[in-house]
Chains A and B, each alone.
Chain A
Amino acid sequence: DVKVTQSSRYLVKRTGEKVFLECVQDMDHENMFWYRQDPGLGLRLIYFSYDVKMKEKGDIPEGYSVSREKKERFSLILESASTNQTSMYLCASGIGGRNQPQHFGDGTRLSIL
């Protein structure tokens, strides 16, 4: 079974901090994704990576950056956290096209105070 592991289930940070969310997958998938999930807005894609060191902006990349130095690990970085980045963050991995089945982690609920 594919396992996508997010480093924290819950995280509390302060405004202005630099925040790192880590995601690791164990199935050698080329594609990795970061989404945020908000009530009434569903899932929105922040960034997508199709290979090591390769990335594409999603729908809402502002305020975020990503890093993919190894195939199995995809990091989401909040450069200077703000309260409007309080959300559930979901990481996923997959192969083939972007709309091929994705395997999701269980999410990190991030609160920015």
Chain B
Amino acid sequence: LAKTTQPISMDSYEGQEVNITCSHNNIATNDYITWYQQFPSQGPRFIIQGYKTKVTNEVASLFIPADRKSSTLSLPRVSLSDTAVYYCLVEDNQGGKLIFGQGTELSVKP
């Protein structure tokens, strides 16, 4: 069964680059790795998704090594409004279960 591991919390300062890594073994070989952002009292919001190598959009980059046993969400130049919980989501390689990470609580300080 796939298992995901993320740091529980991270601290940063405005303007810094933040990298959050999710370790995930036994993930489906033909499926995506997806990251979500969640603010208090709101549902998670899709940030970015990738299959391999690097994906970049207007808010983040996602780095996935060739073995796909981990992925790193990169947030460039964070601001106070990036303070949130970030989750990775993968699909298990047996039975296709969706597995959310435990979430990383990012705190951005001025």
Contacts and interface: CB of A to CB of B under 8 A. Distances in A.
A99 B34 contact: yes
Interface string A41-76: 111110000000000001100000000000000000
B98 A104 contact: no
Contacts of B31: 97, 99
Given A90-B44, A106-B42, A98 B96 contact: yes
Given A41-B102, A45-B97, A102 B87 contact: no
Interface residues of B, number: 21
Interface in B22-44: 31-32, 34, 41-44
Contact of B45 (A40, A98, A99, A104): A104
Contacts of B98: 45, 58, 98-99
Given A90-B43, A101-B46, A42 B34 contact: no
A103 B102 contact: no
A99 B90 contact: yes
Contacts of A99: 31-32, 34, 49, 89-91, 98
Nearest to A43: B100
Contact of B46 (A41, A59, A103): A103
A32 to B, nearest CB: 13
A41 B4 CA distance: 12
A45 B98 CA distance: 7
26 contacts: A40-B102, A42-B87, A43-B87, A43-B100, A44-B100, A45-B97, A45-B98, A59-B97, A97-B31, A97-B32, A98-B96, A98-B98, A99-B31, A99-B49, A99-B91, A100-B49, A101-B34, A101-B46, A102-B46, A103-B46, A104-B42, A104-B43, A104-B45, A106-B41, A107-B41, A107-B43
Interface of B: 31-32, 34, 41-46, 49, 87, 89-91, 96-98, 100-103
